[in-house]
Amino acid sequence: MLPQEIIRRKRDGQKLASSEIAAFIEGLAAGTVSEGQAAAFAMAVFFNGMSGEEAVALTVAMRDSGDVLDWSDLPGPVADKHSTGGVGDNVSLMLAPIVAACGAYVPMISGRGLGHTGGTLDKMDAIPGYVSQPDKALFRKAVLETGCAIIGQTGDLAPADKRLYAIRDVTATVESVPLITASILSKKLAAGLQSLVLDVKLGNGAFMEKARDATALASSLVGVANGAGLKTSALITDMNQPLASAAGNAVEVRNAVDFLTGKYRDRRLEEVALALSGEMLRQAGIAASHQDAARRVRQVLDGGAAAQTFGRMVAALGGPADFVEKPAFYLPKAGVELAVKAPRDGYVGGIAARDIGLAVVALGGGRTRPDAAIDHAVGVTRLLPVGAEVRTGEALALVHARSRGDAETAASAIVSAYGLTDARPTPRKVVVRRVLPN
């Protein structure tokens, strides 16, 4: 089948057969479909969408473009979580070791940053020596020995998605529900999971800003995953402000270590992390109820087992053996720090989270093209949350940059992203709703 004919049919709003989708994805993986053709296909899908059957076919075709892992020899359930992306969303770094410490195995295959959102893999790359894209032997060894491994796609796992993922990032086709669905799930299906929990973000810092769009994406993900044979549920969570008080790569890793060790935990981040952990444990069959799951999660956090599991994972994948004990020693640091000062007294009434993410990208902490290098040291910390009271001249946040000029530019963007009000705003729900298969 000619790629251009498949593109034309989707461009004209026709339903593609499973064999056409499979042929196009096979060509994408083999290199016989060009980057321009892949971009045209993505744009056609962006405007015309896909049926549920097409989305399942696309997901399965991308899964089958490479190897599919088999964890049937493990003595426990194989589970994972995926977030649709946000600002200051470092939940995966805590979730994998928490759930692993509770008895599940978590082979977490993550992606790099898309647009204004940070990528889990970019965060892990901030840890010196950490092999974020190991071969299958090292990946399996890390999972077997520590219970979890956070890695990126290898060349053998969903290679068609790896290529399309990078193209979507620079062609304004990121927000397509079928493409997001297939991209996320093809990696998860290739990982050989038995259960999956999805964190679908909603709000001004998410790809889905409106409730109906986030619900549509969550329903698509849950429906397609279960249609492809993977037990899946989803939580829709609020992203109308950064989730953690840090945004960037090394700074979010430090925030995650502080969370795991109990040194400091952002309130909203903790609520989302505990809700997702509990959902994963119930889906995996480890916890019988919400209360049982919450008890188990608290036990491994407060007892230190989750932090120890994270440390063992880092060491197993080439990072420092004492990373959890000395994160500040190992993580890269930017040379300039600049406080972002509040222009007046008031309460933080709202935050344009997307603009915070874009400020991090402008500092060098994100990509404007697929092959761009990332500066892992830059970012923003001490981000005040919505509802916080602030006085004129007090810090709204702290910028970490390579130059004074970069810091001042970022500070200006962050001031503009903060809306100050005279009255304390009403808090939003952090976990908005749970989505189950029909």
Is 80 one of the annotated active-site residues of the chain?
Answer: yes
In the residue annotation, 210 being an active-site residue is answered as: no
The reply to whether the predicted model has a pTM over 0.85 is yes
**Best CA proximity match to 55, nearest among 21, 12, 8, 9:** 21
H or E, element range at 237: strand 231-238
**Measuring CA to CA, which residue among 116, 105, 106, 86 is closest to residue 201?**
86
The angle that helices 18-30 and 159-169 make with each other, rounded to 10 degrees, is 80
Q: Where are the domains of the chain?
A: 3-63, 79-156+167-327, 333-421
Is 322 labeled as catalytic in the residue annotation? no
What single-letter amino acid sits at 393? G
What would the pLDDT profile of 76-103 be if each residue is shown by its tens digit?
Answer: 999 999 998 899 999 999 999 999 999 9
Indicate if the pLDDT at residue 74 is higher than 70. Answer: yes
Tell me, yes or no, if 233 is annotated catalytic: no
What's the whole-number mean pLDDT along residues 389-394? 98
Give the architecture (CATH level 2) of 3-63.
Up-down Bundle (1.20)
- Per residue in 109-159, pLDDT (tens digit) is 887 776 677 789 999 999 999 999 999 899 999 999 999 999 987 768 889
3-class secondary structure, 328: helix
Domain at 79-156+167-327, CATH from 3.40.1030.10, 3.40.50.300, 3.40.50.970, 3.40.640.10: 3.40.1030.10
Residue 114 confidence (pLDDT): 66
81 is catalytic: yes
Place 231 in a pLDDT band, splitting at 50, 70 and 90: very high
What the block records as the tokens of 346 is 């008031």
Res. 370 pLDDT band, cuts 50 70 90: low
User: Is a pLDDT exceeding 80 seen at residue 371?
Assistant: no
Is 73 among the catalytic positions? Answer: no
CA distances 387 to 164, 241, 420, Å, are: 40, 11, 9
Amino acid at 75: P
Q: Return the CATH fold of 333-421.
A: Aldehyde Oxidoreductase; domain 3 (3.90.1170)
Letter for the amino acid at 394?
Answer: E
Catalytic annotation, pick one of 83, 92, 173, 220: 83
Lowest mean pLDDT segment, chosen from 95-99, 212-216, 342-346:
212-216
pLDDT in tens, 238-277: 999 999 999 999 999 999 999 999 999 999 999 999 999 9
- Determine whether 187 is an active site residue: yes
Residue 375: predicted pLDDT:
94
Q: What's the rounded Cα separation, in Å, for the pair 402 and 399?
A: 10
Which of the following is catalytic: 64, 80, 169, 406? 80
